[in-house]
Amino acid sequence: MASKPRSGFTLSRFFREARPGRSIRVYRDKEVIYLQQHPADAIFYIKRGVVKLTIQDKRRRRHAVLAILTKGAFFGEGCLLPAARRMSTATSIGSSTIARVGKAAFRDAIEREPVLAALFIRYLISQAVLFKMDLADHRLNAGAGERRLARILLAYSSFARKSATGPSPHPFSQTTLAAIVGTTRSRVNGFMTKFRRQGYVRYNGGLEVDAERLTAFLQG
């Protein structure tokens, strides 16, 4: 029987509550949270920090960065599929506080709490929309790499606002950014130089992102 929806219920509130089947852990910089091809037995939520998702093709000895996730993001949701295995490797960038909910416990919560199910579906749809926008940019626009880097920097600025006041050390190296964008480190360096000249970013004891200007750039 479904429980009565709770007033002010949010995804972050759900992951803060102490319940069976869930735990919270602090991961160190570069510590692996789970590995590609391992059994998928839980879903994760970032309470604080940054997580990198990477995929590797061992036959061709190649790897790619799929996403950089910040506070408020889910990952590992593929565990909800039957007999699921991890499609990527999740690694903490810097210190990260991660909430873990076992597959069975999360499925049970979704079935009992319609509000949680609706919020989770809304989140998945928003991620699918972002993925399609990114794919369209990559296929259709000559400046796709530049625009993708701009979106990554906007995500970083959101993380910085939620984590601290003032400028923060940039958690992503240009090598990592190049892997996410799908280009070379030298091109990322050129994009960053251009963004600095146009006032989209500043270096003042750390990286500062002018989210308003960068958003205007993305909107054309």
Q: What domains can be seen in the chain, in order of their start residue?
A: 11-131 (2.60.120.10), 141-218 (1.10.10.10)
- For residue 142, pLDDT over 70 is answered with no
Mean pLDDT of 49-58: 86
Distance (Å, whole) CA 157 – CA 200: 11
Q: What pLDDT score does 165 carry?
A: 44
Within the chain, strands assigned E span 22-27, 32-34, 42-57, 62-70, 74-75, 89-102, 201-203, 207-209
Q: What pLDDT score does 31 carry?
A: 95
Alpha-carbon distances, residue 29 vs 93, 186, 206 (angstroms): 5, 25, 18
Mean pLDDT of 47-56: 88
Q: What pLDDT score does 5 carry?
A: 45
Q: Which of 81-95, 99-113, 123-137 has the lowest mean pLDDT?
A: 123-137
- For residue 137, pLDDT over 60 is answered with yes
- For residue 169, pLDDT over 70 is answered with no
State the pairing for strand pair 74-75/42-57.
antiparallel
Contact 159, 51 (CB under 8 A): no
161 pLDDT tier (thresholds 50, 70, 90) = low
159 pLDDT tier (thresholds 50, 70, 90) = low
Q: What pLDDT score does 4 carry?
A: 47
Q: What pLDDT score does 6 carry?
A: 52
Mean pLDDT of 31-35: 96
Q: What pLDDT score does 2 carry?
A: 44
Helix/strand/coil for 147: helix
| Residue 161: alpha-carbon gap to chain centroid | 15
162 pLDDT tier (thresholds 50, 70, 90) = low
Mean pLDDT of 149-159: 77
Distance (Å, whole) CA 37 – CA 78: 12
* Mean per-residue pLDDT of the chain: 81
Q: What pLDDT score does 90 carry?
A: 96
HSE-CB for 73 with a 13 A CA cutoff: 21
Alpha-carbon distances, residue 104 vs 10, 41, 43, 92 (angstroms): 20, 8, 10, 24
CA angle at 116 for the pair 28 and 112, rounded to the nearest 5°: 115
The pair of three-digit structure tokens given for residue 220, joined into one six-digit string: 């054309």
In terms of pLDDT, which residue wins out, 189 or 177?
189
Query: Quick one: which of 146, 127, 164 has its CA closest to 53?
Result: 127
Q: What pLDDT score does 1 carry?
A: 43
Q: What is the pTM of this model?
A: 0.73
Task: Determine the length of the chain.
Answer: 220
